[in-house]
């Protein structure tokens, strides 16, 4: 009986194994389906956005719960047939057993009811069952079809796994790793990297720039989704060509905006892993431009300082030797600022010194040749420059000598106040010159570059008939006059060239007026004087050489020349025509000319002729005055009292 039991148990184990194989195959199929579905869910969500971690956690946790439950349930149905059932199946397969196997098993059980049965009969049946079972291997009667069922269940698993790892091995590996909650990215055929700058100037159009790695064609179009605080917009991404460092550039130009936004992009099956973002900052603006003209140092008599004069709205008008100081006020702090000088040739850039708070910048410079204007360019810490660079003009004034003019020819008997009515009483215009007499020469001069020296020039015209001609110019230096005590000298009257409290006949040869504003304007830019030209020792040259005193019929021409303070080689003041009447670019004498007044000519006459001129001058003045009085009466209406007097007459 032992051998029979052993065969039946071997058969029973094989039956259990077949059943367990089917259960395992079913569990494997459930696991494969579950993993596949979880990967599909993860892949699908990740195609639009990053799969949230909680979704991945739920998928993994759900699988960790479902798979053990499925295994338990599957193995609950795994049972092996009993020995009696197996014996019955053997009897069905082999008729020679003729119920001996089942009978032998039942009669040999410990709890078998064998009362009244012959032990010899039981033994005989048992021996026959043993003998018959030895002829067969009962384990071979196990049903192998369940192995086929298991194979059919595993076939989808094998196909899915084979295809996944044969054609999509990296993708399948990553998806499985993600089911284990590993933080790895799902590979796509196209990868997208954001190249867009995170900061842009407010109000500017924004170009979104993306590097796309993978196979794309020239006509590949991507999709850009932009999320503003106020809504969402969709734009197309265009292929802009290959990048030098690899990949392909895709761009989309967004309209000007000032509110920040985020964006995501898709090209084919690839997408941005993390959203991009753009914030806006205002561009710097130059809110104010102030400029000061720096006069040359030689304008200061002491040569110690450069006087400054503020300009109108930054527009510069000055002489070529001047410097300029510019200060710009800014709308926001900036680290760098430049002043760009424009003119003939290329622009010249000058770095400006930025204040500690970054809200202003300044620069000081001397004017280069050919400059015609300047502009100010600034940039903030992000490199954003001012969109509109303020421009200002620079006008170089002609480098002219001092302006010199002669004052009116007045011979004052005292210091009575002059009016328009009384001024004519002292007018000596066209005064004749007596040999040994003198004539007053008053003048005024001005130069922005300051005044240095003054000279009285004279020459004599003599001869007879057509041979009359002027002799050479002679120069008489005018001595500078120091500023006198105001209490003793009084106010200086530029229209007369003298001080109020000086004697009327006292010379004031060359007086440089003090500055009206010592802080911003140098002294000595305006000068004047009044000089009595003496003719007693005046001579004229002879054609053959030598000198003779003035004679009646000669003419004396007088003018005043004044130099400015510009340090340069001076053209002699006696070269009047060459220096004063010829433009600088046509001048043959190199150097700096003086400024000249117009010339006045005085005829040399005898005392009798001078007296006759004086009387004629007085009569003409009286006649002109009477004419003016009579004409004034014609246009003035008569008073009522005057009408009554006329009627009485």
Task: Write out pLDDT tens, residues 321-358.
Answer: 899 999 999 999 999 999 999 988 778 999 999 999 99
Q: Can you give the length of the chain in residues?
A: 649
Domain range list for the chain: 2-179, 190-281, 286-396, 403-600, 610-648
Residue 486: DSSP 8-state: H
Question: Which ranges of 316-428 does DSSP label H, i.e. alpha helix?
Answer: 420-423
What mean pLDDT is reported for the chain? 81
What is the number of other CB atoms lying within 10 angstroms of the CB of residue 306?
A: 19
CA–CA distance, 180 with 172 (Å, rounded to integer): 13
CA 219, chain centre distance (Å): 36
**Which of 46-60, 114-128, 242-256, 562-576 is modeled with the greatest confidence?**
242-256
Q: Over the stretch 532-570, which tens digit does the pLDDT of each residue have?
A: 888 877 777 777 777 788 888 888 899 999 999 998 888
- At residue 235 the predicted structure's pLDDT band, cuts being 50, 70 and 90, is very high
Residue 312: DSSP 8-state: B
Structure-token pair, residue 630: 């009579």
CA–CA distance, 588 with 578 (Å, rounded to integer): 8
At 21 the pLDDT is 83
The helix or strand, by DSSP H or E, that contains position 628, with its residue range, turns out to be helix 607-635
Residue with tokens 């990296």: 170
More confident residue, 423 or 292: 292
At 87 the pLDDT is 58
- At residue 413 the predicted structure's pLDDT band, cuts being 50, 70 and 90, is very low
SS3 state at 297: helix
- At residue 417 the predicted structure's pLDDT band, cuts being 50, 70 and 90, is very low
Q: Which of 366, 340, 332, 338 is nearest to 351 (CA)?
A: 338
Contact 445, 543 (CB under 8 A): no
Q: Poorest-confidence range of 65-69, 139-143, 503-507, 566-570?
A: 139-143
CATH architecture for segment(s) 286-396: Sandwich (2.60)
CA angle at 55 for the pair 50 and 56, rounded to the nearest 5°? 80
Q: Which of 363, 510, 380 is nearest to 445 (CA)?
A: 510
What is the number of other CB atoms lying within 10 angstroms of the CB of residue 571?
A: 20
Structure-token pair, residue 223: 């999709």
- At residue 213 the predicted structure's pLDDT band, cuts being 50, 70 and 90, is very high
At 414 the pLDDT is 40
More confident residue, 642 or 201: 201
Is the pLDDT assigned to residue 106 strictly greater than 60?
Answer: no
Please state which CATH number belongs to domain 190-281: 2.60.40.10
Global model pTM greater than 0.75: no
Q: Which of 58, 353, 308, 4 is nearest to 179 (CA)?
A: 58
Is the pLDDT assigned to residue 97 strictly greater than 70?
Answer: no
Q: Over the stretch 277-313, which tens digit does the pLDDT of each residue have?
A: 999 999 999 999 999 999 999 999 888 888 998 999 9
At 107 the pLDDT is 52
More confident residue, 398 or 97: 398
- At residue 412 the predicted structure's pLDDT band, cuts being 50, 70 and 90, is very low
Q: Poorest-confidence range of 267-271, 321-325, 589-593?
A: 589-593
How much of the chain, in percent, has pLDDT values that exceed 70?
A: 78
CA 62, chain centre distance (Å): 58
Residue 227: DSSP 8-state: E
At 416 the pLDDT is 43
Contact 235, 224 (CB under 8 A): yes
Structure-token pair, residue 544: 């053959």
At 346 the pLDDT is 78
At 166 the pLDDT is 84
Computed over its alpha carbons, how large is the radius of gyration of the chain?
Answer: 61
Q: Over the range 206-240, which residues count as b (16 or more CB within 10 Å of their CB) and which as e? A: bebbbbbbbebeeebebebbbeeeeeeeebebbbe
CA–CA distance, 406 with 427 (Å, rounded to integer): 14
Structure-token pair, residue 305: 């300082």
CA–CA distance, 220 with 241 (Å, rounded to integer): 11
Contact 154, 33 (CB under 8 A): no
Is the pLDDT assigned to residue 629 strictly greater than 70?
Answer: no
């Amino acid at each position: 009986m032992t051998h029979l039991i052993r065969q039946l148990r071997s058969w029973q184990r094989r039956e259990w194994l077949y059943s367990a194989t089917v259960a395992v195959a079913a569990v494997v199929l459930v696991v494969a389906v579950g993993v596949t579905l979880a990967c599909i869910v993860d892949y699908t969500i990740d195609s639009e956005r990053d799969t949230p971690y909680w979704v991945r956690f739920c998928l993994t946790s759900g699988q960790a719960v479902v798979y053990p439950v499925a295994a338990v349930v599957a193995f609950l149905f795994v049972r092996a047939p009993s020995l009696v059932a197996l014996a019955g199946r053997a009897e069905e397969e082999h008729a020679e057993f003729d119920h001996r196997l089942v009978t032998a098993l039942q009669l040999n059980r410990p709890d078998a009811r064998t009362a009244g049965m012959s032990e010899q009969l039981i033994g005989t049946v048992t021996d026959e069952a043993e003998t018959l079972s030895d002829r067969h291997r009962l384990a071979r009667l196990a049903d192998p079809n369940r192995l086929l069922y298991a194979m059919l269940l595993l076939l989808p698993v094998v196909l899915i796994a084979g295809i996944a790892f044969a054609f999509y091995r990296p993708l399948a590996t990553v998806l499985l790793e993600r089911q284990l909650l590993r933080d790895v990215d799902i590979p796509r055929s196209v990868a997208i990297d954001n190249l867009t700058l995170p900061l842009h100037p407010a109000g500017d159009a924004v170009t979104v720039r993306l590097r796309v790695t993978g196979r794309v064609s020239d006509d590949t179009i991507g999709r850009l989704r932009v999320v503003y605080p106020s809504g969402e917009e969709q734009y197309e991404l265009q292929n802009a060509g290959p990048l030098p460092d690899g990949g392909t550039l895709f761009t989309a130009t967004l309209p000007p905006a000032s509110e920040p936004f985020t964006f995501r992009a898709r090209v084919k099956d690839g997408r941005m892993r993390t959203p991009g973002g753009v914030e806006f900052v205002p561009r710097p603006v130059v809110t104010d431009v102030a400029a000061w003209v720096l006069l040359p140092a030689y304008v200061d008599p002491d040569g110690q300082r450069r006087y400054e004069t503020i300009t109108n709205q930054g527009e510069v008008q000055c002489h070529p030797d001047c410097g300029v100081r510019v200060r710009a006020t800014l709308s926001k702090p900036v680290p760098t600022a430049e002043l760009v000088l424009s003119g003939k040739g290329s622009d010249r850039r000058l770095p400006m010194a930025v204040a500690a708070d970054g809200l202003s910048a300044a620069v000081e410079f001397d004017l280069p040749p050919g400059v015609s204007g300047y502009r100010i360019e600034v940039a903030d810490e992000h490199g954003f420059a001012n969109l509109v660079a303020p421009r200002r003009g620079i006008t170089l004034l002609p480098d002219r000598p001092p302006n010199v003019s002669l004052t009116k020819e007045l011979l004052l008997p005292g210091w009575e106040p002059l009016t328009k009515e009384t001024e004519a009483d002292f007018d000596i215009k066209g005064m004749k010159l007596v040999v040994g007499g003198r004539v007053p020469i008053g003048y005024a001069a001005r130069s922005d570059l300051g005044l240095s020296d003054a000279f009285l020039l004279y020459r004599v015209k003599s001869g007879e008939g057509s041979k009359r001609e002027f002799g050479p110019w002679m120069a008489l230096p005018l001595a500078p006059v120091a500023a006198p005590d105001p209490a003793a000298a009084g106010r200086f009257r530029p229209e007369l060239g003298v001080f109020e409290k000086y004697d009327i006949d006292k010379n004031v040869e060359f007086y440089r007026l003090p500055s009206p504003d010592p802080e911003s304007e140098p002294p000595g830019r305006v000068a004047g004087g009044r000089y009595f030209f003496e003719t007693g020792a005046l001579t004229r040259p002879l054609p053959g050489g030598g000198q003779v005193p003035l004679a009646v019929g000669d003419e004396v021409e007088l003018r005043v020349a004044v130099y400015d303070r510009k340090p340069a080689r001076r053209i002699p003041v006696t070269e009047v025509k060459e220096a004063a009447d010829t433009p600088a670019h046509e001048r043959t004498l190199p150097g700096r000319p003086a400024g000249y007044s117009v010339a006045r000519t005085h005829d040399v006459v005898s005392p009798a002729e001078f007296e006759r001129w004086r009387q004629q001058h007085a009569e003409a003045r009286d006649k002109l005055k009477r004419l003016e009085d009579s004409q004034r009466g014609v246009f003035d209406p008569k008073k009522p009292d005057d009408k009554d007097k006329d009627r009485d007459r």
